[in-house]
Amino acid sequence: MNVALFGGTFDPIHRGHLAVARAAMERYALGKVLFVPANIQPLKKHAPVTAYIHRYAMVSLAVAGEKKFVPSLLEAPNPQGPAHPSYTIDTVRTLRRSLRKSDRLFILIGIDAFIHIAKWRESEALLRGCEFIVANRPGFSLAHVARALPESMRPEAMVSQLFRKQKPSGDLAIGGAMIHLLEEVEDPSSATKIRTTAAKGGNLGTVVGESVAEYIRKVGLYRAKAEPEDDERTEAKPKLEIVGGKAHRKGSEPARHSKRS
Ligand code: ATP
């Protein structure tokens, strides 16, 4: 079976994520897409993010109608253990133990996250160990993909230069890695914009779907609030805590991250 691991902050999951997963599923005959919310993102460990339990709940609601989309606890916090960042290479190693030898494992990722791949833990091993499906987002070219690779796998600067005006599409077999470029999805949805809209009391139904929009309303996520005890956004913590310290001032979007490693 072809299995894709789709990791992210999912704060919240939105139409763009689902569109990318659907396009990848059709193009690469995926039998399963695992949606894996990260507990702690390694590249920005201290950025405030909504409690894991809410992000996982929203992912579960959003994929409920899709047989092949599975919410995954692979990067869930361990309530007994110390807090540690979610490294994709570890997640892949754990996941591989439950797969058959004949299963083909893909990492599904947006191009804005892929451009940081060289900073990920054991990035070369990861790139050589799984196939990547990189979904385009507006404003990126093939050169962004080439330049993002770890130095040992990167093409000559001259080659990257030639890629500058090319759309990221087709398959790139390079330095032992296989990168599939998914160009047809150019959905402008972003979780950052959604949080801003939610803080202003805007309608979220079309961009996150009714069930997630209702969850956000009921639980009161992303509200612009002054009081710390009412603030649902908190720094990532090891425990399944729902309410934490004050993460940002009233009306302001806290600095945060969306990149994995
Ligand atoms: P933020 O706006 O907070 O950075 P985000 O919308 O990018 O969040 P993430 O949870 O960080 O959401 O994204 C998880 C993965 O999905 C990343 O690989 C990201 O690149 C990809 N992704 C998110 N939105 C889109 C989109 N509209 N099109 C293509 N890929 C996307």
Could you list the pLDDT tens digit for every one of the 261 residues in the chain? 999 999 999 999 999 999 999 999 999 999 999 999 999 877 766 678 999 999 999 999 999 989 999 999 999 998 887 778 889 999 999 999 999 999 999 999 999 999 999 999 999 999 999 999 999 887 887 788 888 889 888 767 766 666 666 676 788 888 889 999 998 787 888 999 999 999 988 888 899 999 999 999 999 999 876 544 444 555 444 433 343 333 333 333 443 444 556
Structure tokens at 91: 């997640």
- Give the C-alpha separation, 212 to 208, whole Å: 6
Structural domain containing residue 108? 2-182
Q: Do 176 and 54 share a structural domain?
A: yes
Mutate to test the pocket of ligand 1, among 15, 17, 196 (most ligand atoms within 8 A of CB): 17
pTM of the model: 0.84
- The pLDDT of residue 107 is 98
Q: Residue 92: what residue type?
A: V
Structure tokens at 141: 């070219």
Q: Do 165 and 206 share a structural domain?
A: no
Q: Do 117 and 29 share a structural domain?
A: yes
Q: Do 146 and 18 share a structural domain?
A: yes
With a 6 Å cutoff on the Cβ, whether 221 touches ligand 1 is no
Q: Do 57 and 176 share a structural domain?
A: yes
Q: Do 207 and 177 share a structural domain?
A: no
With a 6 Å cutoff on the Cβ, whether 44 touches ligand 1 is no
- Give the C-alpha separation, 113 to 93, whole Å: 20
With a 6 Å cutoff on the Cβ, whether 74 touches ligand 1 is no
Q: Is residue 257 part of a domain?
A: no
Residue 163's Cα: distance from chain center in Å? 25
- The pLDDT of residue 258 is 44
* Order of strands across the sheet that contains 2-8: 69-71, 30-37, 2-8, 104-110, 131-135, 177-182, 170-174
Q: Using CA positions, which residue lies closest to atom 4 of ligand 1? A: 258
Mutate to test the pocket of ligand 1, among 20, 144, 186, 257 (most ligand atoms within 8 A of CB): 20
- 203 C-alpha to ligand 1 centroid (Å): 20
Q: Do 214 and 93 share a structural domain?
A: no
Q: Do 99 and 11 share a structural domain?
A: yes
Structure tokens at 228: 């710390």
Q: Do 202 and 153 share a structural domain?
A: no
Cβ–Cβ under 8 Å, residues 196 and 233:
no
Q: Do 206 and 149 share a structural domain?
A: no
Nearest-atom index, ligand 1, CA of 189: 27
Q: Do 135 and 67 share a structural domain?
A: yes
Q: Is residue 166 part of a domain?
A: yes
- Give the C-alpha separation, 24 to 39, whole Å: 24
- The pLDDT of residue 105 is 97
The tally of domains found in the chain comes to 2
Q: Is residue 254 part of a domain?
A: no
Q: Is residue 178 part of a domain?
A: yes
Cβ–Cβ under 8 Å, residues 9 and 195:
no
- The pLDDT of residue 250 is 38
- The pLDDT of residue 136 is 87
- Tokens 């330049």 locate to 147
